Structure 1
């Protein structure tokens, strides 16, 4: 019996996939601007499509998206970054007091309630430790700047990579639909219909996570920061931003934000209970708004990645290819999730699954 066409094509597909993975692993040190530009192009393509449907030219829509992005980035750099650095400095200065409370009050209370053997945390000279770490950080920055300034090639490479990101994003955003059609045309024709459906489903999953969850993260960071500012926390923006970024994993943002904010509020307000209640109320209201309004509106009922899958994908990507691997981890995980789901469905419908 001669092999089926699908069987004869399969080695070619597996070989092409293996070559792509090998090239990514070998070339990942130079891929960062292309990956970042590709993600920006992917995120901006739906907006450009909507503008094009309203009569804009493709290039005009891309230019409009870039103007919005640059204005937003400029606002963040001008207002948010200085505030974050200032509040982060305040938070670092509170570390000795937090550690003292943990070692002198919280840990003994917990041990007595749980009938555990007393264990003392080591005494740490925080003034010396923080000074040493800040000195190490300053030395690291100084050494890095010295190496960069003494090597013109390194400076040129960094500037070139930064300048390359918007160029790659512009051309990918402008030609995204044509590139997708050309890529699909390379697939064997009998597979194109089913593959188009799977790619559309993968785009739905990935879009829900990248586009929708990104907006949810920003909205939560804003809500938590404003709420904690109203409560009166000195490091409200740092805590709110950290909680918003952590919400890339469902419910992790609320857990991280509540724990850290309650601890900071306890020290700042001298152990008063009312500020703690207000902090808990801020996160309770924020979580309710996220669950009932933000996620249904921005993400919808599309199937997202499981939190464990998100953690594993990010860690695996970082292990394989560093920062570039982290950037591509979620897109690859979303595509593999969809293809694996269809493979399992095909297997359960086959004779190999039902045969006695």
Structure 2
């Protein structure tokens, strides 16, 4: 490849990236639709092998997704709503517990000054501003009015996702075949090997890690509710979602559960504390020895720091959609970087020529 052609490729890649960045506000539904189509394509392929048409298979997969979402909403949404209302009711009591029990104990242990926490000032600030409620409501109403177009756009994007997903899922194999036909003939084998490896990693993460998160959320929520924790379902779901980052679910869930146990049962009752520790210990053992090896395997290999950076970078660039797509994209980038590393180890930039190696070696 000549230098001018290389520069042309670099300029084209730069302009494409800049265009994608400018189109970020409208890309979210298409990215989510691509993810759903990727998840549903294997199911549609299996239905096709059962002599069903592609369109009918896509419709059945969409019906399966809709039923699963509806069942989850009907079962968990009322329970989760009651948990959130209970948390709202307990918030004033938790603040009093923090002020009169937890903070004084920390103050004595750490040797802090008497007015270090300034709870009285906080309460006074809240008590002095009840007359401004109308102003706050007016400002909130103004903000909602100004954001009406954004709300309409969000609803439109939400409705656009299933439509785009349907057409992508129906034509997925055709699109993949056409993209393969556009590959340079001399590089087709290499690109297809990279694509197959990326597909393996994505399948391991998307279908495996999400199942691990769901299993951990179920284990934590059921165990904490059996212990008798009032907010067990909420804390269990939070711990399961946080487990997308290694050990983050354990830290967040165990910390929140211990605080909830101390507030609900007091420091003198050891049985709920032991129960919470047993629940998270069992969850971690099942994750390490059964769930992750069985559902995910060791094909992803993302370092925890890389996971945290990928999630933060995805949220900064694409918002909530970027958070959802951060780790699958990071897994694909990891596969490509692995091959770039192999090429670098074979290049002249990394290695030395035989003449240089002989001159640098000491005489015998």
* TM-score above 0.5: yes
Taking the aligned partners of 2:179 and 2:12, their CA distance within structure 1 comes to 13
Equivalent positions of 1:62-77 (< 5 A) are 62-77=58-73
The yes-or-no answer on 1:32 pairing with 2:28 is yes
What TM-score does the superposition give when structure 2 sets the normalisation length? 0.84
Deviation string, structure 1 residues 227-253 (Cα, Å, up to 9, x no partner): 111111111111111001001011211
Instruction: Show structure 1 runs of 5+ residues with no match.
Output: none
Deviation string, structure 1 residues 77-122 (Cα, Å, up to 9, x no partner): 2232232122122223333443444455445545665xx4324322
1:181 Cα offset (Å): 2.6
Contact 2:205 2:300 in 1 (8 A): no
Taking the aligned partners of 1:139 and 1:168, their CA distance within structure 2 comes to 39
Number of positions where the alignment pairs a residue of Structure 1 with one of Structure 2: 346
Tell me the equivalent position of 1:217. Answer: 213
Contact 1:52 1:58 in 2 (8 A): yes
Contact 1:41 1:170 in 2 (8 A): yes
Contact 1:96 1:126 in 2 (8 A): no
Contact 1:223 1:240 in 2 (8 A): yes
SS in 2 for 1:249: coil
Tell me the equivalent position of 1:163. Answer: 159
Out of 231, 236, 239, which is 1:240 matched to? 236
Taking the aligned partners of 1:72 and 1:144, their CA distance within structure 2 comes to 35
Taking the aligned partners of 2:42 and 2:50, their CA distance within structure 1 comes to 13
Provide closer, same or farther for how the CA distance between residues 173 and 12 of structure 1 changes in structure 2, counting only shifts above 3 A.
Answer: farther
Flag the structure with more relative contact order, 1 or 2, with Cα contacts below 8 A and sequence separation at least 6. 1
Equivalent positions of 1:4-19 (< 5 A) are 4=1, 10-19=6-15
Instruction: Show structure 2 runs of 5+ residues with no match.
Output: 357-364
Contact 2:28 2:318 in 1 (8 A): no
Tell me the equivalent position of 2:286. Answer: 289
Contact 1:205 1:305 in 2 (8 A): no
Taking the aligned partners of 2:192 and 2:49, their CA distance within structure 1 comes to 22
Larger radius of gyration: 2
Provide closer, same or farther for how the CA distance between residues 201 and 9 of structure 1 changes in structure 2, counting only shifts above 3 A.
Answer: farther
Out of 308, 312, 323, which is 1:311 matched to? 308
Provide closer, same or farther for how the CA distance between residues 16 and 210 of structure 1 changes in structure 2, counting only shifts above 3 A.
Answer: farther
Which stretch shifts more, 178-187 or 162-171? 178-187
SS in 2 for 1:94: helix
Deviation string, structure 1 residues 13-50 (Cα, Å, up to 9, x no partner): 43443233212111111112111111111111222223
Q: CA RMSD in A?
A: 3.0
SS in 2 for 1:351: coil
Find runs of 4+ consecutive structure 1 residues off by over 6 angstroms.
134-141
1:276 Cα offset (Å): 0.9
Taking the aligned partners of 1:219 and 1:89, their CA distance within structure 2 comes to 25
Contact 1:209 1:304 in 2 (8 A): no
The yes-or-no answer on 1:91 pairing with 2:83 is no
Taking the aligned partners of 2:14 and 2:62, their CA distance within structure 1 comes to 35
What TM-score does the superposition give when structure 1 sets the normalisation length? 0.85
Contact 1:28 1:324 in 2 (8 A): no
